[in-house]
Amino acid sequence: MGGTKRGARRLEEERVVTSSKTKKPTILIADDALMNRVMLKDMLGDGYDVIEVSDGEQAIAAVQRYGTAISLILLDIVMPRMDGFDVLAVLNKRGWIYEIPVIMVTSEESPVYVDRAFALGVTDFLTRPYNEAVVRQRVHNTLVLDAKHKMLTEAVSNEIYKREKNTNLLVGILSHIVEFRNGESGLHVLHVNTMTELLLNQVVSMTDKYNLSSEDIELITTASSLHDIGKIAIDDAVLNKPGRLTAEEFEHMKQHTVIGAQMLDELPYDRRNNPLIDRAYEICRWHHERFDGRGYPDGLKGDEIPISAQVVALADVYDALTSERVYKEAFSHEKSIDMILNGECGVFNPLLLECLEQASEGIRKLLSITSFGDRTGDGIRDAIDNTIGLDEGISLRKSQELLNFERMKYQFFAAKSNELQFEYLADTDMVTIDDWSEKGLNLPPAVQNPLENEWLNAVFGEGRLKSLCERMRATTPEAPVVEEDFTVEVEGEPRWFHIAARALWTEDDQPQFAGVFGKLADVHEHHQALKGLA
């Protein structure tokens, strides 16, 4: 009997097969009842590759093995070994729930079950007994929504990256103007910027006391470049004096903290509503405060000093020690670390001193930069990740908010434009059409395998749809747009339309065609007018 069970289990596990060689979406069905799995697989049809497992442990093993090659999970609640909620808990813990959508399949319709499942991240519910049309439509809808979400999230991430890159460029230019006036190479800004990011990540790896998100770290790192912006108003004779400053000169020099903060506070923006300006203000004003309250300009003590200013203060002192100045030779990395840890350069937060000591070797490697060309920004970030072992990610909440805004914008313009707007995703081989086109022109909302669809081929004309698809696939990431005028059969009569479509390409080393979005506009009257003129 035991051998029979083991044999059955082995046969069951052998049914978990990879589908990476095909382009069909792969669906994982996790249900302990063989009949339920057979019914669902038959209802889905030949448009999908199906992986079947009979309990929660096998489901987790399948996800762990195949990852995002699985497009969707149909997950039963009541299963042996691990039930559906246990599986969802693991998917949440490992972050897989954000990569692979889940539809719960169950006979339980209790609000308690439904609420718990949605709280754990399921996308939809299917209840037994199954209705084939409902099953197919909900699976289709979930896959399309997930594909759009991923594509739009990637687009949003790319746009955020571009904006951050431009912001960093402008901040870098401004800060290097200050460094140039200060008679330095400009590497001080780069060193402080790099070390700030490294130390902040080290803080996060050791404590949650300061509640620093990845977004906070990016903002503080960018803002650190402006820490000495107030020096632009300091007299050259004081700023570049080769010897020790007099008491009067030192008081003048100390004003750069207040001046920098004032410059930022007087910008035509409310800094309390602009996190970058607010962080830069903190850093400018308080990066010369000391943990024992003996700094300037306000004599703040301990954690009265924002963590942003504390970290930049430590990075500033370290780089001052290891850099040659008109009034001193450079100290070695080891000597500088010892001087800071021994309290020879002021009093710092003990936690930051521990972070400094832990990250000492990484700091030495990262800051052995002799020119701007020695290391790219991406290289520095990679080195920081390797030094501390942290993974950076975009803010899921912010991405979801931007996604919802984009969705509302798309729906608004689609409703107002009176044009047929469409999307095609290569991985699902499916065309989806906007709400207005569906309702106003009596078109189907989605068409799978469009090149094989008789209705579409009849509307577009024999061979035209295939020709258009070939033109889209022949585009490049550098020239992805196709436009042309052609006739379409509308109520049995040819009518002129203009198509404008943009191909989507992946950002791999060898870009792959990912899909198309575009619109069809009725230009029949324009063509008729041109014909009349002729």
* Kind and range of the H or E run holding 361: helix 360-366
**Who has greater pLDDT, 171 or 252?**
252
Does the structure show a pLDDT above 90 at 424? no
Query: What is the predicted pLDDT for the residue at 163?
Result: 56
Q: How far is the C-alpha of 432 from the C-alpha of 447, rounded, in Å?
A: 7
Confidence of residue 493 (pLDDT cuts 50, 70, 90): confident
**Who has greater pLDDT, 396 or 486?**
486
Residue 130 CB-density burial (10 A; 0-12 exposed, 13-18 middle, 19+ buried) = middle
**Who has greater pLDDT, 386 or 24?**
24
Does the structure show a pLDDT above 90 at 372? no
Q: Tokens for 286?
A: 């308080």
Q: Are strands 493-505 and 26-30 parallel, antiparallel or unpaired?
A: unpaired
Query: What is the predicted pLDDT for the residue at 131?
Result: 85
CATH number of 2-130: 3.40.50.2300
> Could you give the angle at the alpha carbon of 280 between the alpha carbons of 276 and 282, nearest 5°?
120
Q: To the nearest whole percent, how much of the chain has pLDDT over 70? A: 74
Rounded to an integer, the average pLDDT of 299-308 is 96
Global confidence as pTM = 0.44
Q: Tokens for 298?
A: 């306000």
For 64-123, the pLDDT digits (tens) are: 778 888 999 999 988 887 888 888 988 887 778 888 999 998 887 777 888 888 888 898
CATH number of 418-533: 3.30.450.20
For 239-251, the pLDDT digits (tens) are: 777 778 898 989 9
For 180-213, the pLDDT digits (tens) are: 555 554 577 778 888 999 999 999 988 889 999 8
What is the architecture, at CATH level 2, of domain 154-388?
Answer: Orthogonal Bundle (1.10)
Cβ-Cβ contacts under 8 Å for 464 (sequence gap 6 or more): 486
Does the structure show a pLDDT above 70 at 432? no
Does the structure show a pLDDT above 70 at 285? yes
Does the structure show a pLDDT above 90 at 254? yes
For the chain, domain boundaries: 2-130, 154-388, 418-533
Does the structure show a pLDDT above 80 at 13? no
Distances in whole angstroms, Cα of residue 322 to Cα of each of 3, 128, 330, 485: 70, 70, 5, 66
Confidence of residue 154 (pLDDT cuts 50, 70, 90): low
Query: What is the predicted pLDDT for the residue at 158?
Result: 59
Rounded to an integer, the average pLDDT of 280-293 is 95
Burial 184-203 (b: 16+ CB within 10 A, else e): bbbbbbbbbbbbbbbbbbbb
Confidence of residue 306 (pLDDT cuts 50, 70, 90): very high
Query: What is the predicted pLDDT for the residue at 287?
Result: 96
Rounded to an integer, the average pLDDT of 268-293 is 89
Query: What is the predicted pLDDT for the residue at 182?
Result: 56
Does the structure show a pLDDT above 90 at 296? yes
Does the structure show a pLDDT above 60 at 334? yes
Rounded to an integer, the average pLDDT of 410-420 is 54
Does the structure show a pLDDT above 70 at 375? no
Count of other CB atoms within 10 angstroms of residue 483: 10
Q: To the nearest whole percent, how much of the chain has pLDDT over 90? A: 23
Q: How far is the C-alpha of 233 from the C-alpha of 255, rounded, in Å?
A: 9
Distances in whole angstroms, Cα of residue 159 to Cα of each of 89, 155, 166, 399, 511: 32, 6, 11, 11, 19
The mean of the pLDDT values for the chain is 77
Name the least confident of 47-61, 259-273, 289-303. 259-273
Q: How far is the C-alpha of 243 from the C-alpha of 30, rounded, in Å?
A: 75
Name the phi and psi angles at 492, rounded to 5.
80, -5
Name the phi and psi angles at 485, rounded to 5.
-105, 140
